[in-house]
Amino acid sequence: MTVLSLFANPSIADLWQFDVLGIHEPTEKKTKQEMANAAKDLFLQTVTINMEGRYEVRLPWIEGHPPLPTSHSVARKRVRAIMHKLERDGLTERYDQVFCEWESQGIIERVEGENYGHFLPHRPILKEGSTTAIRPVFDASAQEKNSPSLNQCLEKGPNLIELIPSLLLRFREFKIGVISDIKKAFLQISVHEKDRDFLRFLWIDKEDQEFVYRHRRVVFGVNCSPFLLGMTIEHHLKKCMDNRGSMDAEYSRETI
């Protein structure tokens, strides 16, 4: 979770907070705790299982946040720069293939119409030898001049870094520690349709034709994504415990 938090493009102030491990002034801690509790309450009130048998969540918007611009010009400028870099490195087809696969799997969807909502710039991350050698990372901290970014309008939930000491201590209690990995974990969780237009992005094909897509799943790079993933796993495990022994549970074992 430390690595995931760093990929969410935190501010300098947030980076300093990684060192405190939950040690704050009482008034500051209370305020943060209240905001974290509000984000949890919103999650529990809005999380559902959609027609695909997949968990679907809402984005935790900060109450009274300033108007969020489309940032279409920022996203367009970035995607043009990325295209030049991909062509120079011979990676255009591989990067395009990722979006084609995502669209076929229902992770993203192409949309038509005016440029409304909010657009996220993206860039490729290359990791040879990995199961996903090249993948897009979206910049939810990008912003227009004198305007907020998407990350500044979302509540990121509790600081998961604070859980690391207790996790490490529990691994010392017994001889064997068990861990697991969820393949493409963020992409297993659906985003409610009302929030998808704030997760738009641009892509350009080989004929230099511009397309607009939007995410249907939780996005890697948005500051609340680790919180949404953690809460979804916790919610799912609690349901498993509540429904253990029951053969007619209301969730699918393939959900996550």
Give the residue extent of every domain in the chain.
2-161+179-241
Q: Is the pLDDT of residue 197 over 70?
A: yes
> Which pLDDT value is given to residue 254?
46
Q: Is the pLDDT of residue 87 over 60?
A: yes
Q: Is the pLDDT of residue 3 over 70?
A: no
Using pLDDT thresholds of 50, 70 and 90, give the confidence band for residue 177.
Answer: confident
- In terms of DSSP bridges, do strands 190-191 and 55-57 run parallel, antiparallel, or are they unpaired? parallel
Using pLDDT thresholds of 50, 70 and 90, give the confidence band for residue 256.
Answer: very low
> What is the C-alpha separation between 178 and 173, in angstroms, rounded?
12
Q: Which of 4-18, 60-74, 166-180 has the highest mean pLDDT?
A: 60-74
* Inter-axis angle of helices 72-89 and 92-104, nearest 10: 120
> Which pLDDT value is given to residue 17?
59
Average pLDDT, the chain: 83
Q: Is the pLDDT of residue 218 over 80?
A: yes
Percent of the chain residues past pLDDT 90, beyond the cut = 48
* Start-end of H helices in the chain: 2-7, 12-17, 26-46, 72-89, 92-104, 164-170, 193-196, 225-242
> Which pLDDT value is given to residue 244?
62
Q: Name the nearest CA neighbour of 6 among 234, 225, 229, 256.
A: 225
Q: pLDDT by residue (tens digit) across 20-60?
A: 555 555 545 557 778 878 888 999 999 999 999 999 999 99
pTM: 0.78
Q: Return the CATH architecture of domain 2-161+179-241.
A: Roll (3.10)
Q: Is 201 within 8 Å of 122 (Cβ atoms)?
A: yes
